[in-house]
Chains A and B, each alone.
Chain A
């Protein structure tokens, strides 16, 4: 079970939103680099960076932070938020990310996902499915994409993508537990994908429950910042295959 800590960034600073609401950001004091170093030092291997400015405006804003973190840590980073063109994808890889996260653009223009998979390989592409009531939301969760999560994942699988994470917006930042039932149905429909759960994961019980239904990873944000789970314990779960 891969434990993937998350850093969401607004204006170079670490932030957590609740249910994706930009009007109620909670900023955490630390510099993102310091936070990433703590993850790295605790033995975690992955990092999920979301450029919230990029997701909202549709163009990457916090590439410098990515560069800094990738230069100073050994974390394997996926980066997303505002990626629109093949040049954006190249810039993100040049800045040190191992994967790009594609959300809005994958829903709007699947032909680009196909092109980038052919160019960079499916291993380098992480598809983000942000879901509210089974429908995909895009543009920083502000807009409805008009497609269900099942159809969206089906389209992505048809194009050769297999690294996919699902974020239940109603759970995100709420620390009330993840959407086990939804993820179970996704895994039943798509048993062959590398599915990562995100949103609402608060306890070790949550992580174990996700592991038992077949999730390959868990993205954890607020629960780490609010110290509901310790990095050392997460690191132990991370090292268990």
Chain B
């Protein structure tokens, strides 16, 4: 069973829809036991990091997520919440992956914040990228990014080099919208669902 975590941050339904298109049934749930017993857990999110964390804490999901041992995939804000801390409203995050989430500086000319649109990923270091050619295009909408660090398994350049994908043990996170990233996005989702 694939569980998609239900809380106040959006994008839950788009992820569910994308997986359905790929032939997978999912359960959108905030039930602790259902999430713990799932084979795979997907943790999506669009919105404000602070109110997203508040919603997780209200539902007691912060503790549940930290204790998961099956493959977990954070998407967009879901990925950011796996990190230590976000500059967005100085939010204390889950602290699973030792990275800071920062805001893009909009001072550099020709770079818009938020970044909206297609950009490339490179420096792959994870089985999530099996069968994906170097510099594949993925779709982004974000103003905050996780720094580049030792848990970075793919990076993107926009204003600076940052974490496009992170991994620590069973926890994976993608900053881009894998569910809207055409071929590469589909492949990453399929590779994640194949993980043991």
Contacts and interface: CB of A to CB of B under 8 A. Distances in A.
Interface of A: 107-115, 118, 145-148, 150-151, 154-155, 157-160, 188-190
Nearest to A160: B14
A110 B112 contact: no
Given A107-B48, A146-B48, A155-B48, A114 B143 contact: no
B3 interface: no
B141 A118 contact: no
Interface of B: 6-14, 46-48, 50-51, 76, 88-89, 112-114, 116, 141-143, 177
A109 B9 CA distance: 6
A147 B114 CA distance: 13
A113 B51 CA distance: 15
A154 B116 contact: yes
A111 B8 contact: yes
Contacts of B143: 148, 150-151, 154
B13 A115 contact: yes
Given A118-B13, A146-B48, A159-B46, A151 B89 contact: no
B142 A154 contact: yes
A111 B116 contact: no
A188 B114 CA distance: 11
Contacts of A160: 14
Contacts of B12: 111, 114
Nearest to B47: A110
Contact of A111 (B7, B89, B141): B7
Given A146-B50, A146-B89, A150-B143, A108 B8 contact: yes
Contacts of A147: 48, 88-89
Contacts of A157: 116, 141
24 contacts: A110-B8, A111-B11, A111-B12, A114-B10, A114-B12, A114-B14, A114-B46, A146-B51, A148-B143, A151-B48, A154-B114, A154-B142, A154-B143, A155-B46, A157-B141, A158-B46, A158-B76, A158-B177, A159-B10, A159-B11, A160-B14, A188-B112, A189-B113, A189-B116
Contacts of A107: 48
Contacts of B6: 111
Contact of B10 (A155, A188, A189): A155
A150 B114 contact: yes
Given A154-B142, A190-B116, A111 B9 contact: yes
A52 B195 CA distance: 52
Nearest to A108: B51
B13 A154 contact: no
Nearest to A119: B13
Contact of A145 (B46, B48, B112): B48
Nearest to B180: A158
Contacts of B7: 111
A123 B46 CA distance: 20
Contacts of A111: 6-12, 47
A197 to B, nearest CB: 20
A44 B14 CA distance: 37
Given A115-B13, A189-B114, 18 more contacts: A108-B51, A111-B7, A111-B8, A111-B9, A111-B10, A111-B11, A113-B10, A114-B10, A145-B48, A146-B89, A147-B48, A150-B143, A154-B114, A155-B10, A155-B47, A157-B116, A158-B76, A159-B14
